[in-house]
Structure 1
């Protein structure tokens, strides 16, 4: 209808003796002007857009600075990241705009202006910094932090001159807990990024040196076997599993990662760990080159306790349960497998596999708790940092054990059971002695199930 109305003046002019071509041109010009006028109403000036973004960003920055003790660390880290990205994009936008003879005054856009006092100083001074805030920030209570600080202070004080031991420990735990960058850590603790980096590795080293006794495979065999005995696994000394830690690039091939072998007890504590194996290695090769294997086979210092006598008179030596990717050995019992899927398991085999699968949950749960508490370990690591990753994994495991001993477990809602898929089933030579031990234990488990 609008188009029809615009043509009527031209038709009337033509009927009164005017030039038809000229009147048509006049009509088109009127239409064009109306279109331009409509278009200009929808046109957004880039300068005004930049000013609006700048104003919103500055408001968000102010909100962050005023509420960084109230917001969760995960929230402040996300907000900082978004503000930094917005600020960078705004800077690029301004560089593309033509210089105006009457430029608009834009609000300052630096989203991370320093506070008069750093976040950690204000955190310590806050009357509201209760245990819930300590758990949110460092994934441990204030009492556990203080106890850990006392254990490490001597090592930290002599190794770092530019930062006090409490700041060094808190900064390192914050990075571990949230996967925060050194820049984000430095901002919160009033230090330089290079100092935050050095403090992190000094703290990791101190934890490895002072808490190494928390790997108890060689010192707590009786406690461990009693614990598994309650789960109808007589003479069991742990559960062995593998986990993957992701690496960027193709240093270890496509989708490459580092493998981590861990022996775990019934509580989910790490008893023995071996980290840093490339994913190109087979699980049995990792086992054969680990200190766990040499501690049993080559220089016997593990699993040297007496055999357990079953009700039928069978003797079960100390053993570990392992996934089907490992070889079946007299001291490493893996589940029953069927190469032919059409073959069914006997009731005795099913009883063993069921108990085995339940016990293997201890490994998956331990890995899940480790990654839930220390989120830095769940991030994809850069190739140039790959040599440090095993060191940091071990640090996380020791802190995991430390906190279990302190009675502090990772919040259940954040724990995801880790069960590594795609590991090949071991197809090497089977140990006949190991077969007899597994069969005897399977028969015992089947009898226990019937008695229940």
Structure 2
């Protein structure tokens, strides 16, 4: 019998004995039989009782009702055709069939009786990804969720959070929909997004340092842009949040936000994610404050695939728009108005074509995980929620999930950043490499 029920029965017995000592023996016998029942049951709070002996029959009836509730009942099979009604307090040690019942209650349809293609389509509409990808997430998070002593099955907890992330629901809305406590929904959301952003991040968001990945990425970008040795594209995007008292979060588009910076490869898979700045910080400052920048400047990241272009030693590099600083490892356009030489204008057009990959990746991210269109979590939990969605985005891209309609951020604005004193040598080296790439590109395409 559940401990809470035993405690309540014990209290009722003591109270009943105090009000009517004549029935103490009967009460003791009833308590003994209830302890042997061995089944759990939920009960509602007892009504206020009078201190007079006239309340004894009422207490006895209440006790009898509770004992009848505690008697074993035949369990329903998991293959029941009707979805089971959601319980507010799931059992601490759920049976293997409990998760199926929970999903039926969440989905409101008989998902498990559908063919795999239809099942996966329905699953995506509920949780943002197919059932096989969902099970991958659950299996990887299960040990950590189990260690948290959460009185909820791992698959149920993950489904609840994915439902919130994919539909952009608030904790209050989700709680009302599934008859849960909003605090519990927030607690589970914070736990699952924290696990995604810390435990799964190193596995699914990796800088391409292996030669195989570099060759695959550079070849794909060269097919797209005709530029050699491009290994990724970088861009920033403001993630809208609730109103904050500090003006530091007000972005150039007029709403409060947190800055997201990502680098994507040719498959629109993120290989670096940074969420460190409020919305008022520009892309260049956010990049300079990132771990990626520090590792590139210090030489910690070594890309072993250098080529020679018109006398320039060109290692793999990423491409970005004019809001980023020009570096040997980060190529930016010559100008924004097309007033350069034919070679420079051609280079700018091809570079921006490569940059479009990361723009589409961000559009997919916000289109698939709609909570990022208007983030409704606490400010302290906002960064981990954003990173968690990036991890889930990569899982979907790796599994080749169908791509949703792209979310469109406002048109890019801003100016070229000033060159910092400690970056001058990088800037001049970047200038030489960029001009060499532009001249080589113009020569190759003109000769065709």
Indicate conservation of the 8 Å contact 1:268/1:366, yes or no. Answer: yes
The aligned counterpart of 2:271 is 271
Q: How does 1:24-423 map to 2 (within 5 A)?
A: 117-118=85-86, 120-122=103-105, 123=107, 125-126=110-111, 127-128=113-114, 130-212=119-201, 213-219=203-209, 220-231=213-224, 232-253=226-247, 254=250, 255-298=255-298, 300-310=299-309, 312-337=310-335, 344-381=339-376, 385-411=378-404, 414-418=405-409, 420-423=411-414
Please, what TM-score do these two structures have when normalized by structure 2?
A: 0.68
Q: Give the Cα–Cα distance (whole angstroms) in 2 for the partners of residues 350 and 197 of structure 1.
A: 50
**Higher alpha-carbon deviation: 421-430 or 191-200:** 421-430
Aligned counterpart for 2:442 among listed residues 438, 441, 446: 446
Does the alignment pair 1:424 with 2:415? yes
- Give, in angstroms, the shift of residue 196 of structure 1: 1.6
**Higher alpha-carbon deviation: 394-403 or 283-292:** 283-292
Q: Give the Cα–Cα distance (whole angstroms) in 1 for the partners of residues 392 and 375 of structure 2.
A: 21
- Give, in angstroms, the shift of residue 334 of structure 1: 0.6
- Give, in angstroms, the shift of residue 286 of structure 1: 1.5
SS at match of 1:349: helix
SS at match of 1:427: coil
- Give, in angstroms, the shift of residue 363 of structure 1: 1.4
User: What CA deviation, in whole Å up to 9, does each residue of 1:110-135 have, x standing for no partner?
Assistant: xxxxx961373343754247122101
Q: Give the Cα–Cα distance (whole angstroms) in 1 for the partners of residues 382 and 411 of structure 2.
A: 19
Q: Give the Cα–Cα distance (whole angstroms) in 2 for the partners of residues 265 and 377 of structure 1.
A: 21
Q: Give the Cα–Cα distance (whole angstroms) in 2 for the partners of residues 394 and 222 of structure 1.
A: 27
- Give, in angstroms, the shift of residue 214 of structure 1: 1.3
User: What CA deviation, in whole Å up to 9, does each residue of 1:40-75 have, x standing for no partner?
Assistant: xxxxxxxxxxxxxxxxxxxxxxxxxxxxxxxxxxxx
Q: Give the Cα–Cα distance (whole angstroms) in 2 for the partners of residues 258 and 183 of structure 1.
A: 23
Distance 1:303 1:441, change over 3 A: farther
Distance 1:367 1:221, change over 3 A: same
Please, what TM-score do these two structures have when normalized by structure 1?
A: 0.67
Detail structure 1 runs of 4+ shifted over 6 Å in the superposition.
none
- Give, in angstroms, the shift of residue 139 of structure 1: 1.4
- Give, in angstroms, the shift of residue 337 of structure 1: 1.3
User: What CA deviation, in whole Å up to 9, does each residue of 1:342-367 have, x standing for no partner?
Assistant: x8221101110111111111111011
Q: Give the Cα–Cα distance (whole angstroms) in 2 for the partners of residues 415 and 147 of structure 1.
A: 25
SS at match of 2:227: coil
Q: Give the Cα–Cα distance (whole angstroms) in 1 for the partners of residues 331 and 84 of structure 2.
A: 60
Rg larger in structure: 1
- Give, in angstroms, the shift of residue 187 of structure 1: 4.2
How many corresponding residue pairs? 329
Distance 1:163 1:191, change over 3 A: farther
**Higher alpha-carbon deviation: 244-253 or 259-268:** 244-253
Distance 1:265 1:252, change over 3 A: farther
